[in-house]
């Protein structure tokens, strides 16, 4: 039998049946990092002080992308998410911007993919906004930081255990 829930025991993909799962509150926090050269980093920082367009545009793109998750990821259930928030943590030492997306719902299935999609599209939008200036930007460290709710209970990424989180719950 397959251990991947989206694949049945005959190896066929399917949208896994969650019809009989109990709706519970579910939260997922995902993060990612975009690294760039010092000049690009400086420009985004300065502009953020003045008008904020690069990061604000990216934030809006990320929030809208969270709503599109089930159109993008073939086996994802369509969900009516009830909260999305995206935070930026620029790091001068590394000329990079860490992004964190938090998504919440009371539903039958988790919102990990919504949070990961939000972070990915946020990062891609930063790339798009700055690519005329720096084509070597790199997106990395896209991962699930933590999730709560559902049968599998609470998950916190190993490297983050013992730390105070920085997501929507805190």
Catalytic residue list contains 128? yes
Q: Is 163 in the site for a copy of itself (CB under 8 A)?
A: no
CB of 153 to a copy of itself, least distance (A): 12
Closest separation between CB of residue 162 and a copy of itself, Å?
16
Provide the token pair at 31. Answer: 């993060």
**Is 170 near a copy of itself (CB under 8 A)?**
no
Nearer CB in complex with a copy of itself: 93/132? 132
The minimum distance between CB 164 and a copy of itself, in angstroms, equals 19
Instruction: Write down the residue that tokens 């949070």 correspond to.
Output: 115
For residue 95, state whether it binds a copy of itself (rule: CB under 8 A).
Answer: no
Residues 20-79 close enough to bind a copy of itself by CB under 8 A: 25, 32, 43, 47, 50-54, 56-57, 59-61, 63-68, 70-79
Q: Which residues within the stretch 130-149 sit at the binding site for a copy of itself (CB under 8 A)?
A: 130-133, 135-144, 147
Which H/E stretch holds residue 114?
Answer: helix 112-130
Pairing of β 83-91 and β 24-35: unpaired
- Pick 97 or 113: Cβ nearer a copy of itself: 113
Q: What are phi and psi of 22, to 5 degrees?
A: -75, 135
Q: Nearest distance from residue 57's CB to a copy of itself, in Å?
A: 6
C-beta of 46 vs 92, nearer to a copy of itself: 46
DSSP assignment string, 38-102: HHHHHHHHHHHHHT-HHHHHHHHHHHHHHHTHHHHSTTPPP----EEEEEEEEETTTTEEEEEEE
Which whole-number Å values give the CA distances from 152 to 24, 60, 108, 148, 157, in the listed order?
12, 31, 12, 8, 14
Among the options 17, 91, 128, 169, which is catalytic? 128
Return the active site residues.
128
């Amino acid at each position: 039998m397959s251990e991947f829930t989206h694949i049945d025991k005959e190896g066929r993909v399917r949208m896994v049946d969650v019809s009989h799962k109990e709706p519970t509150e579910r939260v997922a926090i995902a993060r990612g990092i975009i690294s760039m050269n010092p000049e690009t980093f400086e420009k985004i920082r300065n502009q953020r002080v003045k008008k904020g367009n690069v990061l604000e545009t990216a934030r809006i793109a990320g929030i809208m992308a969270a709503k599109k998750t089930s159109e993008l990821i073939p086996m994802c259930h369509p969900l009516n998410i009830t909260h999305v928030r995206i935070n930026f943590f620029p790091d001068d030492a590394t000329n990079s911007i860490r992004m964190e997306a938090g998504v919440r719902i009371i539903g039958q299935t988790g919102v990990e993919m919504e949070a990961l999609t939000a972070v990915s599209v946020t990062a891609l939008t930063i790339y798009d906004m700055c690519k005329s200036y720096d084509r070597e930007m790199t997106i990395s460290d896209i991962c699930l930081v933590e999730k709560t709710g559902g049968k599998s209970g609470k998950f916190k990424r190993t490297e983050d255990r013992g730390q105070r989180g920085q997501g929507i719950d805190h």
